[in-house]
Chain A
Amino acid sequence: MPAPPKSSSGVPLWGQFPAGGRSLLRDLPVLAAGFAIFYGLLVFARYGIGPVNTQAEIQLAPGALPKYAFFSVTRIAIAYFLSLGFTLVYGYVAAYNSKAERLMIPLLDILQSIPVLSFLPPVMIAMIGLFPHSQLGAELGCIVLILTGQVWNMTFSFYSSLKSIPREMHEAAEVYRLNWWQRLWQMELPFSAIGLIWNSIMSVAGAWFFLMACEMFTLGTRDLRLPGLGSYLQTAANQGDTHSIAWGLAVMVAIIVVIDQVVWRPAIAWAEKFKFEQVEAAEPTHSPVLDLLRRSKLLPLVARVSLRPAGEALNLHFSRSAMAAAGKPQERKSTDWIWRSLMAVGLAATGYAVFRMTQMLAQVSSAEALGIVRGAGATFLRVEATLALAGLWTIPVGVYVGLRPKLSALIQPVAQIAASVPATALFPVILLFLIRTGGGMGVGSVLLLLLGTQWYILFNIIAGATAIPTDLKEVCGVFRMGRVERWRKLFMPGIFPYLITGFITASGGAWNASIVAEYFRFQGKTLSTVGLGAVISQATDAGNFHVLLAATISMAAMVVTLNRLVWRRLYGLASTKFKLET
């Protein structure tokens, strides 16, 4: 084992850089990654300020794929960081301002239930209007669209983490007078890190799911397409080019697997230290990439000369300004009038919007209204059928796997990769198959919803079955319970809370996914079936804003109602009666 290079204090900064080929070799991946990111940003910036080209010719040659993949990844990344910023601000305000909380949380609930495509027309028109002369407008529109698909659950997670910080910890922060900067970095962010990371993973998966819809769409008379992996796949599907579909799909899966290994695994392993438990976990998560970063000599050095002094200076700055403010008698600044005027403005705006909305809704003809109602009924049945079908195969398989630790260790990674493939990208392949066997969009849409949602349920059931205590299983053995008895008395109640969690996530996802599942452009034709999602997609395509509004409101209303009436109650039951105390 080589001795660690000795560094004595007093050596000038450049002298502290690790010497020797071995450590340079070790840092090579880190350095290369840094340069690659920098180059990528340059390319994207050059493209972004370039002239307007919303009708980019999408080349189907596999050679064009790296460029497209890069553009898509960049869009998703930018949208993700914007989501993160929004999450931090919105969650923070909602958690600490009880007046705002009462408005912001129900609003979030509604926003979450609005499907991505409904945001498309307003977002696009606003963004293109904002930057009419550069590519930036359309690009920003696409990014914001991706953002609307991933931001809400992250915000919810951050908000509920902040809300669950233990009371005494808050009090410690207050009595020891931590300034807001310290609280953020030493209490709030660490406390919500794990939840944020898991929700980020889900959000980015959602972004891949809707990528095709976000990168290529028609808006009234305008046909917009932005170069990217999504538009590549969509174009290939339009032309029925199986070869290109396969190439695109392969690249997408590769990217998803790489991002999982390079970003999410290390992040999860790193976040282990933020587990809010007072005892040490038995088996921590491992990530080779994180180990590489940890072994790196370069990163700690960079941190020592840049981040740490900067952090120290910032901390001292905030502390001293907070101290200066605390010493003096506080003038009771009344913020009430600000609130009241804000509320008044908000109310007026809401009132006006509602007025205009009703005007717009009045344009909906009775035929269109009937279409919406029929569509809503159809989509409702479709979603529930999907959930039932998913439950039918995932419950026995999940319990079977979950009860066998060795098997589940084998199956889980494979299933995770399968789950990470966005179902929308597989859709053309499935449609091809269905058309050959004579099935149509009706079957196809259910299949697509199933592909998109079954994994949530499966993973939850496996987790639930794994968590069933051994002594309860032994009790079943001792009393010689039959198979039916075991399922009724132990397995079903045991996995119930997990099942419900899985179904809630799946149900929300299925409603949202119905807009791409029920309406698809394929081989130059538009395939669609009866459903609310199809109504929304069609209205977007045709620029039929009043129908879009009415259908969106219907969908949001149905999702929120279902959540409140069915899922929340079941969840309450799951967390009381069926909770396995440990």
Chain B
Amino acid sequence: MNPPGTEKLHEALSQGQWENAVSMLQRLDATDAAGLMMDLPFEEQQILFRIVPDDFAATLVSRFPYYHSYVLLHTRSLEHLRAIVNKMPPGERLQFLDELPGEAWQRLMDELSAEGPAADGEGAPVAVAGAVSKRPPAVEPIAEAVQVEKCFIQPDGHQIQVIAATDLALEPGAITALLGPSGSGKSTLLRILTGLIKPSKGIVLWHGRPIHDCAPNLAIVFQSFALFPWLSVLDNVETPLLARGMEHEERHRRAVQALHTVGLQGFENAYPKELSGGMKQRVGIARALALEPEILFMDEPFSALDVLTAENLRGELMELWLGKKIPTRSIFLVTHNIEEAATLADRILVLGRNPARIRADFRIPLKHPRDRNSAEFLVYVDYIYKLMTQPELEPAPPSAPARAAKAPYPMLPHARPGGIAGMLELLGDRGGKDDLYHVAEELLWEVDDLLPIVEAATLLGFAETEKGDVRITDAGREFANADIPTRKVLFRNAALAHATLLQQIHTGLTSKSDGSMPLEFFRDILEEHFSAEETQRQIETALNWGRYGEIFSYDAESDKLFLARLEHAGDTQRDLLHHS
């Protein structure tokens, strides 16, 4: 039921004809246009919204969900923001403002009434260096990735793209957070930006010069700390300074000062193994800060720590950053923790996967330190959740050449049946529908846990997602309420109906007279589509699902799959078949 002109619009977008696309949208009925735009990848929405005329933007705003409009509005300059809101029909404007949570409303009111442009300095016009946008950023970037791509070549010669052509610029004065599901290539992107990994295509510039031709002053804080256990804390911090040819006195002075900055004075002669995780990461941060890096890169720096320690360390980092106690000009943070990103970052990049590309790039104009319970903060957190659970659209980026145009193999979400059941039960108790953010909070899950489970439940037809809410379906309710043998049968039927890999395995096994096949066969198929690690995870998930649903069994010693004989579950299944 696509409105007319959908294809044309997509075609225009894929060729980068933004103005053309805007005029097409303007010719449509406003509701249709808003619906069409909502279905676009976020980066395209953002670019379009930035170039549409104010009065058209005004009609769109009232047709988008309020949080969506709120974020999009803040991608425009203050002047335009005021103009757009002013041009909204009074009734629609009232309704839009009404829906906004208290603090968001307050901020918008302030912005609308403030004199002159950028009165409070935070709603300042920001040009977003989006993935597709070719506009020059407002400030000269420190580091810039231009059309970087990364491919890995499988042993059998297959080429797998892990990062699609990406543009990214890091400007001074901001904390940029890179968010994305696990295995999406966040860390690879960080390593490309720091010169640790060479991109397959494209180039990384540092102040306009190729990174391998200059020695950029950067530092990385690692997830696993990466300290040398046989060196004392002081020696660990001094090592990079020595590598820069610094004399002993100067080295010592800077190392001691860096340790002082992170609150480790008195621990100079301790060895890393004597320290707790949080203290180790402090050493890691001190080692980075002692170099006075221009950009501080942090690769999931808090994810190996317990919740309280991480929280504490985050606070201290922000104190140093906001108090300008460290000479670092920019921080680039890789994380999978949405709240962490929303608390720390001035700018958030959301990465999609297979291959990785930037799905969204937006600012969070909230003042630091941020109150995590403020309604406005929650709007942003909610928004990121919605964005990350929104199914990925248009996976083929416009620049991708027609290389071996192979339909992407549907990926199994890495969820365990137990997790799926747990979430469905929770949803059932909550009246069948809830906000993803609340579900994650309730179950103490991070996005990494939650997203695959939601995806899996959706794939199996047990749940539906809509704009960040997840709703249980009738099939899901039946599954959640069933006893264990029935659950297995329901799971089996759903998996065979919707999960391609399980279908393939099942079909393969039933076609064999002895009902068995080597797992190697399916591993080979998967390896044509996925990296070695992903293949392993796909196999693990498939085995997990197949065993739970008693679709097949697996014998590790012979590496073979066997068709499961449904002896005990057989009766239940027959009953169910009669019912339906």
Chain A contact residues, CB within 8 Å of chain B: 166, 168-169, 171-172, 174-179, 182, 186-187, 190, 273-280, 312, 315-316, 319-320, 322-323, 326-330, 577
Contact = CB atoms under 8 A, between A and B. Distances in A.
Contact of B212 (A166, A176, A273, A330): A330
A543 B137 CA distance: 80
B219 interface: yes
B228 interface: yes
A329 B213 CA distance: 4
B83 interface: no
Contacts of B245: 316, 319-320, 323
Nearest to B229: A276
Given A175-B219, A319-B245, A273 B226 contact: no
B229 A277 contact: yes
A329 to B, nearest CB: 4
Interface string B172-199: 0000000000000000000100111000
Interface string B61-104: 00000000000000000000000000000000000000000000
A182 B245 CA distance: 11
Contacts of A277: 229, 273
Contacts of B557: 577
Interface string B279-311: 010000001000100000000000000000000
A280 to B, nearest CB: 5
A178 B240 contact: yes
A279 B243 CA distance: 28
B209 to A, nearest CB: 8
6 contacts: A176-B239, A178-B239, A278-B272, A316-B247, A327-B214, A330-B212
A327 B226 CA distance: 26
Nearest to A319: B245
B556 interface: yes
A162 to B, nearest CB: 15
Interface string B221-254: 0111010111100000001101111011000000
B349 to A, nearest CB: 21
Interface of B: 191, 194-196, 210, 212-215, 218-220, 222-224, 226, 228-231, 239-240, 242-245, 247-248, 271-274, 280, 287, 291, 556-557
A175 B194 CA distance: 8
A466 to B, nearest CB: 24
Contacts of A179: 243
B226 A178 contact: no
Q: Which of B229, B230, B557 has the most CB of A within 10 A?
A: B230
Contacts of B287: 176
Contacts of A319: 242-245
Contacts of B239: 176, 178, 182, 186
B224 A168 contact: yes
Contacts, number: 86
Contacts of B191: 171
Contacts of A275: 229
Nearest to B194: A175
A172 B244 contact: no
Given A178-B240, A186-B231, 5 more contacts: A172-B220, A186-B239, A274-B230, A278-B273, A319-B245
B575 to A, nearest CB: 38
Give chain A's interface secondary structure class.
helix
Contacts of B291: 176
Contacts of A279: 273
B2 to A, nearest CB: 47
A197 to B, nearest CB: 14
B244 A190 contact: no
A168 B223 contact: yes
B196 A174 contact: yes
Q: Which of B191, B195, B273 has the most CB of A within 10 A?
A: B273
A175 B220 CA distance: 7
Q: Which 3 A-B pairs have the closest CB atoms?
A: A176-B240, A329-B213, A319-B245
Contacts of B195: 175
A274 B229 CA distance: 7
A171 B222 contact: yes
Nearest to B228: A186
B226 A278 contact: no
Given A176-B291, A275-B229, A326 B215 contact: yes
A177 B273 contact: no
A280 B271 CA distance: 10
Contact of A168 (B219, B226, B229, B247): B226
Contacts of B215: 177, 323, 326-327
Contacts of B273: 277-280
A177 B287 CA distance: 13
A278 B557 CA distance: 34
Nearest to B196: A171
A225 B557 CA distance: 55
Contacts of B556: 577
A176 B236 CA distance: 11
A93 to B, nearest CB: 22
Contacts of B228: 169, 186-187, 190
Contact of B196 (A166, A175, A278): A175
Contacts of A315: 242
A389 B272 CA distance: 47
Contacts of B248: 312
Contacts of B226: 166, 168-169, 171-172
Contact of B230 (A175, A177, A190): A190
Contacts of A278: 229, 272-273, 280
A295 B222 CA distance: 38
Given A171-B220, A172-B222, A273 B230 contact: yes
B243 A182 contact: yes
A278 B280 CA distance: 10
Nearest to A189: B230
B243 A177 contact: yes
Contacts of B243: 176-179, 182, 319, 322
A323 B222 CA distance: 24
A178 B215 CA distance: 13
A279 B229 CA distance: 10
A166 B224 contact: yes
Nearest to B290: A176
Contacts of B274: 280
A271 to B, nearest CB: 10
B443 to A, nearest CB: 27
B244 A175 contact: no
